[in-house]
Structures are given as C-alpha cells and as structure tokens.
Amino acid sequence: LSRAHHVPEGCCKTTVLVKIFLKNCPRFPLQKMAKLTAVPLSALVDEPVHIQVTGLAPFQVVCLQASLKDEKGNLFSSQAFYRASEVGEVDLEHDPSLGGDYMGVHPMGLFWSLKPEKLLGRLIKRDVMNSPYQIHIKACHPYFPLQDIVVSPPLDSLTLERWYVAPGVKRIQVKESRIRGALFLPPGEGPFPGVIDLFGGAGGLMEFRASLLASRGFATLALAYWNYDDLPSRLEKVDLEYFEEGVEFLLRHPKVLGPGVGILSVCIGAEIGLSMAINLKQIRATVLINGPNFVSQSPHVYHGQVYPPVPSNEEFVVTNALGLVEFYRTFQETADKDSKYCFPIEKAHGHFLFVVGEDDKNLNSKVHANQAIAQLMKNGKKNWTLLSYPGAGHLIEPPYTPLCQASRMPILIPSLSWGGEVIPHAAAQEHSWKEIQKFLKQHLLPDLSSQL
C-alpha cells in the first residue's frame, strides 16, 4: 500500500488492497469458454458424481459452489477452491481442494460439506417419491465478500437431481390393524429380502433410508411407532408386540422373501431393534447404528413382561461451550459399568452389525457396542461384526448426506449435540452403507450366504 493511496478512516488496509487490485489489475484470466460438467446429472443420492471444469486458464484458481433448498425452503450451501492444471482443467476425482469447506481430494466434498444457512438445521427428505433434491453447482471467480466489490456472474452452472427412489420402486401407505408406516418395494417380481427400518427420538415417519434401501433391492418397511397418525404422541412404553405385528405384516407380503427379516436401526430405534432381535425368532440380521444395549428411557413390554429403563444420572448431562446438550455420559455410573442392566443379547438367534461413531455425543456408542460384543463372546457367540469409525458422530446416514452436528428435538427444549467431524463422518457414511447392504444380503439371501 503506497503513500499515494489514502486509507479512509474506518476502512481496513486489506479492503483497500483488494479494491486497488481489482481496479488496476486485469480481471482474472478465466475464459468465457469455461465448461462445468457433472455425470450423472440425475441419480440416486448414494451414487457418486464426477465433476469437472474445462476451458480455464492454466493454473487458474476457480471457486466451485453448491447449494440446495429443502422442502421448507431452508438453504444449504458449500464451496471449495481448486487450481486448474496446465491445460486449464479441474477434475474433482483427482485434484485437491485448496480451501473452503474442505481440503484435499474429495470427489463428493461439495455434497457432504453442505451447511445450513440457519443454525441447527438438518437435511431430511420428506417427500421421497415425487421430487428429488435439486443441487445447483456453479463455477465462479474467487472473490472476497467485501463492501462495494461487484461479484462477477458464474463462469458456468448446472443443476443435479438427487433421488431417494429408483425408477419402478413402489410406495404403499401402511395402515393395517395397529401398524403405521410405509412399505417400499423394489421393481420386479421378487421375492426380495425384507427389512424393517427404525428411527429414534424424533418420532414420526422417516422414509428416506427405507426408500433408498428399496432402490437397492430390499423390501423395506419404514415403521412408525410414536408421534405419527393415531399413534401415541409420546413414547411412554415400547410395546414389542406392536413391532412383532410389523414383522408378521412384512413376512405376509407375497414379494417378501422369508422366513426371516432384517432390521436397520439407529439411536432409540437401535435399542428397539436389539430388543426385537432377542425376543422375536424371525429376526435374522440386525444393524444397530449408535444405539444402547439396554433400556434407556421407556420400559419395554412383551407378553406381560416389563423391562424397566436403567437408572441415569442427570449430573453427567453436559452443556458444551456452544450451549448444546450432550447426553453420552448419562449412563456412565450404571449401564456403562454394570452388565446386569444389559439386554441378554446372547439369546438372539440372528446376526448383528454394530455401526459406531466414536465421536457420538448423544450416546456412548462405542462402550455400549463393545459391552454387547463382550457379552456375546463370553457366551461363545460369533454372530457379530463391528464397524467403528473415529471422528464419526451419532447421525450416520446414507452416503453424501451432510453432517448434522447439532439440531433441535421436538421433545426437548435444548438443542442436542450429535458430534462428528465433517471429513471422517462422510467417510464413515460411505463405507458403512456398502457394508450394511452386504451384511443384510449375506444373512437374508440363502443362496448368497451359502457362497460366503
């Protein structure tokens, strides 16, 4: 900054430097022929996309931005900076991000690094059948968001469609006897391996994982059990006979391959999934994502027998520096140290896949899974597999879903911390989704299991 340039009072030198640069230097030598491509333009949300930019100046830095709006109009966005090759090309499969929302070679980084404009937002697809997410991607000049600096129009842009259902997948609303939910059937005659999909503390009916699993060849029942339709508004007890009805409903369907079914579950849903696997002989394969190995809140009831919740200690509830509540130490003095509170997992007839986020701030998932595995081993059981991911949080979801580190819960006044670090959490989601499908096929498809 030479003496010839006067710095107005209240204006920082950085701002002045950038303004002088933009005024006196030629514009960034990015050419109008820059072309942004993404393949495929329309795909399932768990499919990777190959993004490239061509027609740039050699070694030019370009900013790639992604954005989408959810069904309520909430904005999610991300950006990363890349340097073109000597021939003026950027390929996200090979080139590293130099900065932005992530660094390094991450072909799908623009997707899983999407952040909510509003704090405590979580990206959840509600209408899985009729509309995809539309993700807008732009290639732009790098710029500084400083006052009075005009932002140039994008060099190129495109829109991607990200679906939760493959063509031909059918959704059937379920309201039979007490059962409430949605059944998703893959295209074709079948029969298909059957899976019950269970979520946890948010209640209601979540369909995005069940619809995606059906797109991969599983007849999947997204089963609601509270705060939906005419079901109880609060989860005062877990009636295992209700879930048994759900299993029987699924097995009665002509397109479902018996004689058993699988369970895909998370959080309180995983607690219920474990209880089902112990008490119901039809459960052949159970995926437990970050769940407890004991009754945590509401008593479980099955044919008159009551399984009470374990004691918890509110003194171990932590409010972190951001004002977010962490519950992972709540059972530290009880279930974490005394196996008498644990489910008798050794009584289960099927197989277990434990999926653990080691940075889970809602449950001490690693301790709970290790405790359950130790119990199985003590009883001579080998019917388990453990996937434990350092840096992954509580909400391990299908691949390329943005990390939700914290969100509001309808039944709680404070906001919950779910934990997780962006890059390792994304890697955990991509790896675990493949392993979950492999596990379910291995134990629900007789021909496949005999070959493994």
Per-residue pLDDT of the chain (452 residues; tens, 9 = 90+): 333 344 444 444 433 433 443 344 344 444 458 999 999 999 999 999 999 999 999 999 999 999 999 999 999 999 999 999 999 999 999 999 999 999 999 999 999 999 999 989 999 999 999 999 999 999 999 875 554 555 678 999 999 999 999 999 999 999 999 999 999 999 999 999 999 999 988 899 999 999 999 999 999 999 999 999 999 999 999 999 999 999 999 999 999 999 999 999 999 999 999 999 999 999 999 999 999 999 999 999 999 999 999 998 888 898 888 889 999 999 988 877 877 899 999 999 999 999 999 999 999 999 999 999 999 999 999 999 999 999 999 999 999 999 999 998 766 667 999 999 999 999 999 999 999 999 999 999 977 544 44
Residue 451 CB contacts under 8 Å (≥ 6 apart), including other chains: none
C-alpha to C-alpha distance for 115 and 164, rounded to whole angstroms: 20
Task: Classify strands 384-389 and 351-357 as parallel, antiparallel or unpaired.
Answer: parallel
Query: What Cα–Cα distance (Å) separates residue 317 from each residue in 46, 210, 410, 417?
Result: 35, 32, 18, 11
What strand order describes the sheet that includes 90-91?
35-39, 50-54, 90-91
Task: Report which of 368, 358, 363, 354 is spatially closest to residue 439, judged by C-alpha positions.
Answer: 354
SS3 309: coil
Predicted pLDDT of residue 68: 98
Token pair, residue 79, equals 């950006």
Predicted pLDDT of residue 433: 98
Give me the phi and psi of 405, to 5 degrees please: -85, -20
Task: Classify strands 90-91 and 50-54 as parallel, antiparallel or unpaired.
Answer: antiparallel
Task: Classify strands 170-176 and 90-91 as parallel, antiparallel or unpaired.
Answer: unpaired
Q: How many Å from the N-terminal Cα to the C-terminal Cα in the chain? A: 70
Give me the phi and psi of 245, to 5 degrees please: -60, -40
Would you please indicate which residues are annotated as catalytic (active-site) residues?
267, 360, 394
Predicted pLDDT of residue 143: 72
Predicted pLDDT of residue 408: 86
Judge whether 443 and 449 are in contact, CB under 8 Å: yes
Predicted pLDDT of residue 146: 53
